[in-house]
């Protein structure tokens, strides 16, 4: 298994290389200059700026300069935040997003699986209908609607939670809930669907026929099989949820990495964009690997390739 | 179903059930990991519990830098000017008052300024501030290697431009000298009426060069930065907050000890913070949603002030049909600007018939063209497009952010209504792309804005010099260029203002390469019973050292 994991890590290198290449070239090829402002910069200064950032010469020259730095572990300096390196920004912002994401992820899994399983057991009864309605709403209501509504309810009217900001544990509650709801809803639907299917299978009937309690059938046998699609979904979802959300982090004023995914591209900051894309792709590869390992652990029929 | 009976016959399963159920291992691990994770990020994830501040300000966005020579934005400038102070500064009303310089003498020809530094002034680490600090900091701001986008603020100095663009490399030829530690002598290219405003601007603030040399790009970090203004940088967490603390070495005590600056850039979040009393002052107008302004306007905590910035339309005079001055005038006369400020921008913006915003008492602006749809239709017919018939396809470029799209749509509708022109097409672009298109003059009409650098008509008028860097209309007039030169050489302020007035007349009455639309207003939210020293001023420049809490004024 170690060999397989090692091989997957080695495979990740060319993937990340291609991703960074495409990102950098696309940002540089897009119209607009990272340094342009409403007031024109004297050409001599622009030249200096581009030289300082190794953004002069042909796009290939710029690309090679950048890749040379990346290989040496230097993600360069942000063109938007001129006193900060990209690595420094990621170092400050990523843990914040990960903290928030981990809480949200935990909420999503707990509530998603619990409600999904419950809905499956209560198939076609009121509880099921209610949960599925909630799940449908959770998936379809965008977070930029949900977040202000929850803020108004809990922070303004009831005044029990802070409206925005970061720095104390109570400030994590509302954003974590907002962030987790669409994931929880998806997981609930997946769990329900998968569990319903599994409960029809022969081995469940056998287990019941052998006289196992319904709890034992459900928790020890059925759920173990039904959980597989959730593992498949949760891997990439974890990468997404841990690297922050632009909407949630902007609405709650959270100093995470989410907004950089969009703003760095709008600011035409090639280094910042490549940096955050690198982080996200690494997470995606890592969590897909973890999901595969979990598949393997839970279901011995799966072979790690 | 006999449940009990079944359970008895289920002995093996039941006994295995007494072990820790293997299915619960992953959730248990997850829970454990989460606890570890939580503990870890409690210490490293930025959950710092910093000391409470006496004043919390929503500043609009995360500053791009706090290096006074580098920053260009207003929100960065505000913090920089709390940390640094130039030779002059501003009081709450926005008037120029002595800063690091106690006094100054101006030669009769208006070309030489001799600044006398305040005795005993010190950096935040206790080092004395000398005139050499100014000289060297200006050298740094001008030096092309610093790549300061605002270095042109020092082009007024003799040889400033030559040094700034690398044409000369000997700084001793530049018009600034430090004959003794407390005297700075500045020689200008031509009399510059607003030079004392420039010396209060962040680009001309001194920086502590030993620190800059020692830490390089990192010198603006808390614990490293040495400043000379009313405050020093205590903490700075990216996108989280900045904490400023009164600088003990500043030449006078400041009323407010600690200021916390929030970079919240979401208008709704800012308002929520304000309503839940987590912030005392919303200082940036972008933090106030325009749709809410009509409701906010009557509140005691809503404050607005005229602000030296203008929204206007650029014509591309090199392309048909806007090469014809009659068409340009027709579009200007047909634009019902009141409709735009009442329906869309809604912050109480005054409509603009001139480019230069009101605010400089010495300047009497020309009349400009006001709303006259009949005259507009007549001119358009004269130009060969009666009722808009045969008007070629043209595009209206605008930046698709803020209320840009709505303003452009409204203009399109207004010109259709008044002139019957149906062939104006909207062309919204992302900000950076828009800037690019505008500078290439690749448009027919372009929705633009200009924020004055200082309170003088010059900062608006000199934009439209032939092939000027920010002209972007293709328009040029040798007479206009000649007048600009004359005005720069004119030491008599009244005569100079007259020349500038005549120049603006060419812009907004005779030639119309642009159509002024409205003047911006500054907006802020604060409770006047809880914050003093914040007075509306035309430059929208509020020095934080002037702020005080009523009842606590020392």
Taking 90 as the threshold, does the pLDDT of residue B15 lie above it? Answer: no
Taking 80 as the threshold, does the pLDDT of residue A265 lie above it? Answer: yes
The domain segmentation of chain A, as residue ranges, is 1-305
Q: Are residues B249 and B232 in contact, defined by beta-carbon separation less than 8 angstroms?
A: no
Q: Is B32 on the interface with A (CB under 8 A)?
A: no
Please work out, in degrees rounded to the nearest 5, the angle formed at the alpha carbon of residue B438 by the alpha carbons of B435 and B439.
Answer: 85
Q: Is A250 on the interface with B (CB under 8 A)?
A: yes
Q: Is A35 on the interface with B (CB under 8 A)?
A: yes
Residue A223: pLDDT band (50, 70, 90) is confident
Q: How far apart are CA B306 and CA B452, in angstroms?
A: 12
**What is the torsional sign of CA A292, A294, A295, A297?**
positive
DSSP 8-state class, residue A166: S
Token representation of residue A22 = 């495409």
The residue in chain B having the minimum alpha-carbon distance to the alpha carbon of residue A53 is: B147
Q: Is A98 on the interface with B (CB under 8 A)?
A: yes
Token representation of residue A197 = 């299917």
Kindly report, residue by residue over B502-548, the tens digit of the pLDDT.
999 999 999 999 999 999 998 999 999 999 999 888 888 899 999 99
Is residue B494 packed enough to be buried (19+ CB in 10 Å), middle (13-18) or exposed (0-12)? exposed
Q: What is the pLDDT of residue B538?
A: 80
Residue A220: pLDDT band (50, 70, 90) is confident
**What is the torsional sign of CA A22, A28, A30, A35?**
positive
Q: Are strands B55-58 and B281-282 parallel, antiparallel or unpaired?
A: parallel
Q: How far apart are CA A213 and CA A197, in angstroms?
A: 19
In total, chain A counts a number of residues equal to 305
CB contact under 8 A, B220 and A162: no
Q: What is the pLDDT of residue A156?
A: 87
Residue A304: pLDDT band (50, 70, 90) is low
Is residue B449 packed enough to be buried (19+ CB in 10 Å), middle (13-18) or exposed (0-12)? middle
Q: Are residues B286 and B65 in contact, defined by beta-carbon separation less than 8 angstroms?
A: no
Q: Is B395 on the interface with A (CB under 8 A)?
A: no
CB contact under 8 A, A259 and B239: yes
The residue in chain A having the minimum alpha-carbon distance to the alpha carbon of residue B167 is: A44
Q: What is the pLDDT of residue B547?
A: 95
Q: Are residues B438 and B427 in contact, defined by beta-carbon separation less than 8 angstroms?
A: no
Which of A112-116, A231-235, B101-105 shows the lowest per-residue confidence on average (mean pLDDT)? Answer: A231-235
**Domain boundaries B305-522, corresponding CATH code:** 3.10.105.10
The mean of the pLDDT values for chain B is: 90
Taking 70 as the threshold, does the pLDDT of residue A227 lie above it? Answer: yes
Nearest to B209 by CA among B199, B200, B219: B219
DSSP 8-state class, residue B126: S
Count Cα neighbours of B139 within 13 Å in the Cβ-side half-sphere: 18
**Domain boundaries A1-305, corresponding CATH code:** 1.10.3720.10
CA A265 to mean position of chain CA atoms? 18
Q: C-alpha distances in angstroms, A301 versus A218, A228, B457?
A: 20, 12, 79
Is residue A259 packed enough to be buried (19+ CB in 10 Å), middle (13-18) or exposed (0-12)? buried
The residue in chain B having the minimum alpha-carbon distance to the alpha carbon of residue A43 is: B165
Residue B16: pLDDT band (50, 70, 90) is very low
Which of B330-334, B335-339, B355-359 shows the lowest per-residue confidence on average (mean pLDDT)? Answer: B355-359
Kindly report, residue by residue over B535-547, the tens digit of the pLDDT.
888 888 899 999 9
Q: Are residues B477 and B466 in contact, defined by beta-carbon separation less than 8 angstroms?
A: yes
Task: State which H helix or E strand residue B37 sits in.
Answer: helix B25-44
Q: Are residues A51 and A35 in contact, defined by beta-carbon separation less than 8 angstroms?
A: no
Which of A15-29, A287-301, B354-368 shows the lowest per-residue confidence on average (mean pLDDT)? Answer: A287-301
Taking 80 as the threshold, does the pLDDT of residue B1 lie above it? Answer: no
Q: Which CATH architecture has domain B1-84+219-301+526-554?
A: 3-Layer(aba) Sandwich (3.40)
Which of A11-25, B84-98, B153-167, B279-293 shows the lowest per-residue confidence on average (mean pLDDT)? Answer: B279-293
DSSP 8-state class, residue B171: G
Token representation of residue A84 = 């900060």
Taking 60 as the threshold, does the pLDDT of residue B160 lie above it? Answer: yes
Q: Is A246 on the interface with B (CB under 8 A)?
A: no
The domain segmentation of chain B, as residue ranges, is 1-84+219-301+526-554, 85-206, 305-522
CB contact under 8 A, B432 and A83: no
Q: Is A40 on the interface with B (CB under 8 A)?
A: yes
Q: What is the pLDDT of residue B483?
A: 95
DSSP-assigned beta bridge partners for residue B54: none
Is residue B479 packed enough to be buried (19+ CB in 10 Å), middle (13-18) or exposed (0-12)? exposed
Q: C-alpha distances in angstroms, A212 versus A31, A199, A217, A259, A270?
A: 66, 14, 6, 51, 60
The 10 Å CB-count burial string (b at 16+, else e) for A136-167 is eebeeeebeebbbebbeebbeeeeebbbbbbb
Q: Are residues B78 and B244 in contact, defined by beta-carbon separation less than 8 angstroms?
A: no
| B215 or B14, greater pLDDT | B215
CB contact under 8 A, A38 and B435: yes
Residue B49's φ and ψ, nearest 5 degrees, are: -105, 85
E strands, B107-227, are 112-117, 176-180, 183-187
Q: What is the pLDDT of residue B398?
A: 96
To the nearest whole percent, how much of chain A has pLDDT over 90?
A: 61
Distance from CA of A212 to the nearest CA of B (A): 7
Q: What is the pLDDT of residue B50?
A: 58
Q: How far apart are CA B450 and CA B514, in angstroms?
A: 12
Nearest to A167 by CA among A252, A81, A266: A252
Average pLDDT over residues B18-22: 59
To the nearest whole percent, how much of chain B has pLDDT over 90?
A: 74
Kindly report, residue by residue over B71-120, the tens digit of the pLDDT.
988 899 999 999 999 999 999 988 999 999 999 999 999 999 999 999 99
Q: Is A267 on the interface with B (CB under 8 A)?
A: yes
Distance from CA of B120 to the nearest CA of A (A): 31
Q: How far apart are CA A251 and CA A175, in angstroms?
A: 9
Residue B7: pLDDT band (50, 70, 90) is very low
Q: How far apart are CA A264 and CA B493, in angstroms?
A: 46
Taking 50 as the threshold, does the pLDDT of residue A67 lie above it? Answer: yes
Token representation of residue B395 = 């595009």
Q: Are strands B514-526 and B281-282 parallel, antiparallel or unpaired?
A: antiparallel
The residue in chain B having the minimum alpha-carbon distance to the alpha carbon of residue A267 is: B432
To the nearest whole percent, how much of chain B has pLDDT over 70?
A: 91
CB contact under 8 A, A44 and B13: no
DSSP-assigned beta bridge partners for residue B57: B261, B281
Q: How far apart are CA A89 and CA B239, in angstroms?
A: 10
E strands, B72-126, are 88-90, 96-98, 101-106, 112-117
Question: Which residues contact residue B218 at a Cβ distance below 8 angstroms, ignoring those fewer than 6 apart?
Answer: A83, B224
Q: What is the pLDDT of residue B8?
A: 37
Q: Are residues B500 and B363 in contact, defined by beta-carbon separation less than 8 angstroms?
A: yes
Which residue in A37, A102, A212 is closest to B13 by CB distance? A212
Nearest to B67 by CA among B215, B209, B199, B219: B219
Q: Are residues B368 and B501 in contact, defined by beta-carbon separation less than 8 angstroms?
A: no
Token representation of residue A101 = 């994401």
Q: How far apart are CA B358 and CA B362, in angstroms?
A: 10
Nearest to B515 by CA among B275, B227, B234, B322: B322
**What is the torsional sign of CA B496, B468, B334, B382?**
positive
Do the domains B1-84+219-301+526-554 and B85-206 sit in the same CATH topology, yes or no? no
Average pLDDT over residues A224-240: 89
Q: What is the pLDDT of residue B305?
A: 85
B467 Rama class: left (phi>0) / alpha (psi -120 to 50) / beta: left
Residue B2: pLDDT band (50, 70, 90) is very low
CATH topology classification for B85-206: Dipeptide-binding Protein; domain 1 (3.90.76)
Task: List, as ranges, residues 142-181 from A with C-beta within 8 Å of B.
Answer: 148, 151, 155-156, 159, 162-169
Q: What is the pLDDT of residue B47?
A: 52
Q: How far apart are CA A288 and CA B311, in angstroms?
A: 51
- When scoring B50, B52, B432 by the number of chain A Cβ atoms within 10 A, the one with the most, hence best to mutate, is B432
Kindly report, residue by residue over A130-181, the tens digit of the pLDDT.
999 999 999 999 999 999 999 999 998 888 999 988 888 888 999 999 999 9
Q: Are residues B521 and B348 in contact, defined by beta-carbon separation less than 8 angstroms?
A: yes
Residue B23: pLDDT band (50, 70, 90) is low
Q: How far apart are CA B449 and CA B518, in angstroms?
A: 10
CB contact under 8 A, B432 and A168: no
Count Cα neighbours of B129 within 13 Å in the Cβ-side half-sphere: 32
Kindly report, residue by residue over A117-132, the tens digit of the pLDDT.
999 988 889 989 999 9
Q: How far apart are CA B203 and CA B77, in angstroms?
A: 9
């Amino acid at each position: 298994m170690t060999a397989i994991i090692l091989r997957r890590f080695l495979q990740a290198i060319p993937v990340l290389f291609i991703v960074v290449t495409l990102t950098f070239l696309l940002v540089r090829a897009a119209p607009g200059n990272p340094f342009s402002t409403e007031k024109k910069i004297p050409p001599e200064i622009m030249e200096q700026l581009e030289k300082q950032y190794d953004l002069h010469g042909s796009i290939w020259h710029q690309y090679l300069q950048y890749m040379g730095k990346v290989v040496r572990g230097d993600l360069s300096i942000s063109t938007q935040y001129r006193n900060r390196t990209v690595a420094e920004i990621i170092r400050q912002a990523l843990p914040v997003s990960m903290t928030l994401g981990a809480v949200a992820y935990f909420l999503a899994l707990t509530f998603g699986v619990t409600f999904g399983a419950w809905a499956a057991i209560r198939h076609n009864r009121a509880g099921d209908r209610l949960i599925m309605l909630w799940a449908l709403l959770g998936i379809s209501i965008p977070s930029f609607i949900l977040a202000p509504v929850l803020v108004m309810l809990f922070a303004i009217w009831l005044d029990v939670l802070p409206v925005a900001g970061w720095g104390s544990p109570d400030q994590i509650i509302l954003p974590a809930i907002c962030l987790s709801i669409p994931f929880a809803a998806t997981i609930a639907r997946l769990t329900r669907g998968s569990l319903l299917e599994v409960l029809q299978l022969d081995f469940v009937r056998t287990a019941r026929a052998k006289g196992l309690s319904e709890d034992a059938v459900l928790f020890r046998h059925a759920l173990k099989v039904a959980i597989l699609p959730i593992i498949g979904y949760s891997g990439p979802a974890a990468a997404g949820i841990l690297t922050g959300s632009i909407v949630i982090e902007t609405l709650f004023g959270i100093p995470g990495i989410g907004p950089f995914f969009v703003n760095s591209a709008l600011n035409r900051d090639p280094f910042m964009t490549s940096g955050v894309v690198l982080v996200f792709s690494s997470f995606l590869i890592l969590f897909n690997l973890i999901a595969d390992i979990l598949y393997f652990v839970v279901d011995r029929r799966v072979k790690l390739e | 179903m006999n449940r009990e009976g079944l359970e008895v016959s289920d002995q093996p399963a039941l006994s295995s059930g007494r072990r820790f159920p293997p299915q619960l291992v992953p959730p248990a691990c997850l829970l454990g990991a989460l606890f570890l994770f939580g503990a870890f990020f409690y210490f490293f994830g930025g959950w710092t519990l910093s000391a409470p501040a006496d004043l919390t300000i929503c500043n609009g966005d995360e500053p791009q830098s706090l290096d006074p020579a580098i920053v260009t934005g207003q929100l960065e400038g505000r913090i920089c000017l709390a940390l640094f102070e130039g030779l002059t500064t501003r009081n709450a009303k926005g008037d120029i008052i002595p800063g690091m310089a106690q006094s100054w003498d101006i030669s009769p020809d208006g070309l030489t300024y001799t600044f006398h530094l305040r005795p005993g002034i010190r950096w935040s680490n206790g080092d004395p501030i000398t005139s050499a600090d100014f000289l060297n900091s200006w050298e740094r701001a001008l030096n092309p290697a610093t790549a300061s986008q605002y270095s042109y603020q020092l082009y007024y100095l003799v040889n400033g431009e030559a040094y700034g663009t690398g044409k000369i490399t000997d700084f001793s030829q530049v018009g600034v000298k430090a004959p003794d530690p407390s005297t700075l002598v500045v020689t200008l290219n031509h009399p510059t009426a607003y030079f004392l405003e420039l010396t209060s601007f962040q680009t001309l603030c001194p920086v502590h060069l030993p620190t800059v040399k020692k830490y390089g790009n990192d010198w603006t970090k808390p614990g490293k930065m040495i400043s000379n203004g009313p405050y020093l940088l205590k903490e700075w967490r990216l996108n989280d907050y900045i904490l400023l603390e009164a600088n003990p070495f500043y030449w006078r005590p400041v009323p407010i000890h600690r200021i916390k600056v929030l970079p919240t850039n979401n208008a709704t979040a800012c308002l929520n913070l304000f309503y839940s009393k987590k912030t005392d002052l919303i200082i940036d107008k972008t933090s106030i949603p325009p749709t809410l302004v009509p409701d906010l306007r009557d509140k005691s905590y809503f404050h607005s002030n005229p602000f030296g910035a203008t929204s206007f339309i650029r014509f591309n005079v090199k392309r048909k049909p806007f090469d014809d001055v009659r068409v340009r005038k027709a579009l200007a006369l047909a634009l019902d600007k009141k409709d735009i400020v009442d329906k869309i921008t809604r912050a109480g913006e005054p409509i603009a018939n001139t480019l230069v915003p009101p605010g400089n008492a010495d300047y009497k602006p020309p009349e400009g063209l006001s709303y006259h749809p009949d005259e507009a239709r007549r001119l358009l017919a004269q130009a060969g497009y009666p009722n808009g018939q045969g008007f070629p396809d043209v595009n209206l470029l605008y930046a698709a952010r803020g209320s840009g799209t709505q303003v452009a749509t409204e203009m399109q509708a207004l010109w259709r209504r008044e002139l019957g022109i149906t062939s104006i097409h909207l062309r919204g672009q992302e900000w950076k792309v828009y800037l690019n298109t505008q500078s290439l003059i690749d448009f027919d009409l372009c929705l633009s804005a200009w924020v004055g650098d200082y309170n003088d008509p010059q900062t608006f008028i000199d934009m439209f010099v032939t092939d000027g860097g920010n002209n972007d209309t293709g328009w040029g007039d040798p007479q206009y260029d000649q007048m600009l030169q004359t005005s720069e050489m004119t030491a008599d302020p009244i005569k100079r203002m007259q020349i500038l007035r005549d120049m603006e007349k060419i812009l907004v009455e005779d030639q119309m390469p642009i159509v002024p639309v409205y003047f911006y207003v500054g907006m802020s939210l604060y409770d006047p019973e809880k914050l003093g020293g914040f007075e509306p001023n035309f430059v929208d420049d509020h020095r934080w050292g002037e702020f005080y809490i009523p009842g606590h004024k020392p």
